[in-house]
Amino acid sequence: MKIVVCVKQVPDTAGGVKFNPDGTLDRGAMLTIMNPDDKAGLEAALRLKDQYGAEVTVVTMGLPKAEEVLREAMAMGADKGVLVTDRVLGGADTWATSTTLAGAIRNLEYDLIITGRQAIDGDTAQVGPQISEHLDIPVISYAQDIKIEGDSVVVERQYEDRYHVVKAKMPCLITALSELNEPRYMTPGGIFDAYKQEITVWGRADLKDVDDANLGLKGSPTKIAKASDKVRKGAGEKVSLDPDESVSYIVDKLKVKHVI
């Protein structure tokens, strides 16, 4: 079985967020981590590898620095890494990103593609399903459990108060939730081995069946009007009152502010 896992290097929310003048993220200037949902997707792929035997290829699109996230994936047990990087691909929204990733994945053999549900920097949950549309394969989103049955996958798809059991023939795409599993740690030896391996680097010219009009900032229908870091709130006011007094106190405050 061949599994492709899409991973994204995202800002570490502990390290602060920085923006470019055009409102896109200044990814080069931030501390980064592997997106948590993607990491769960990778762990799911590695568990399938442990259980059934598989070759796991991780694919990422980003700055050359995004190579780190591939090394991390390989130190956890992924077999190969593909970095898609090119200036013309920068500033991509979900449409341009999924077009790019699909263009890269067309060069690879796969039975299963796993992506995270969504990235913690954009929170759109669109890229995974869009890739499946580009490649014309089924998608099962929000996976909380994945099993293989013959040439099909059986996935528990999470809903608010229940889950659906969905079966699909491979090849198909699954989007994973961080609740899916507890990702394994790297191993020290795995880290050094990962840095000895070659990483495949692809640019625009290597993408298959894609149109320039759908790539990069120019090919992105989404325009960012304004972006800002979280504005820190003041310390606020703390009062210690019994419940009845508290209610009157809050109501008075709301009246003063003309909220009610």
Partner 1 sequence: MDFTLSKEHEMARALFKEFAEKEVKPLAQEVDETEVFPRETVEKMAKLGFLGIPVPKEYGGQGCDPLTYAMCVEELSKVCGTTGVIVSAHTSLCCDPIMTYGTEEQKQKYLVPLAKGEKLGAFGLTEPGAGTDAQGQQTKAVLDGEEWVLNGSKCFITNGKEADVYVIFAITGTVEKRGRLQKEISAFIVEKGTPGFTFGTKEKKMGIRGSSTYELIFTDCRIPKENLLGQQGKGFNIAMHTLDGGRIGIASQALGLAEGALDNTVAYVKERKQFGRAIGAFQNTQFQLADMATKVEAAQLLVYKAAMAKATQKVYSVEAAKAKLYAAEVAMEVTTKAVQLHGGYGYIREYDVERMMRDAKITEIYEGTSEVQRMVISGALLK
28 sits near partner 1 (criterion: CB under 8 A) = no
Closest CA to 113 of 80, 135, 83: 135
14: contact with partner 1 by CB under 8 A = no
Question: Contact between 188 and partner 1 (CB under 8 A)?
Answer: yes
- Select the residue interacting with partner 1 from 187, 203, 249, 254 (CB under 8 A): 187
Q: Contact between 195 and partner 1 (CB under 8 A)? A: yes
Closest separation between CB of residue 190 and partner 1, Å? 8
Binding mask 57-86 for partner 1 (x = CB under 8 A): -----------x--xx--x-----------
DSSP label of 23 = S
What single letter denotes the amino acid at residue 5?
Answer: V
Q: What SS3 string covers 82-124?
A: EEECCHHHCCCCHHHHHHHHHHHHCCCCCCEEEEECCCCCCCC
Q: Which stretch binds partner 1 (CB under 8 A): 3-11, 131-139, 170-178, 184-192?
A: 184-192
* 191 contacts partner 1 (rule: CB under 8 A): yes
Is there a cis peptide before residue 171, judged by omega within 30 degrees of 0? Answer: yes
185 binds partner 1 (CB under 8 A): yes
The residue from 189, 221, 236, 243 that contacts partner 1 (CB under 8 A) is 189
Contact 58, 199 (CB under 8 A): no
CA atoms within 13 A on the CB side of 20: 9
List interacting residues with partner 1 (CB under 8 A).
Answer: 68, 71-72, 75, 185-189, 191-192, 195
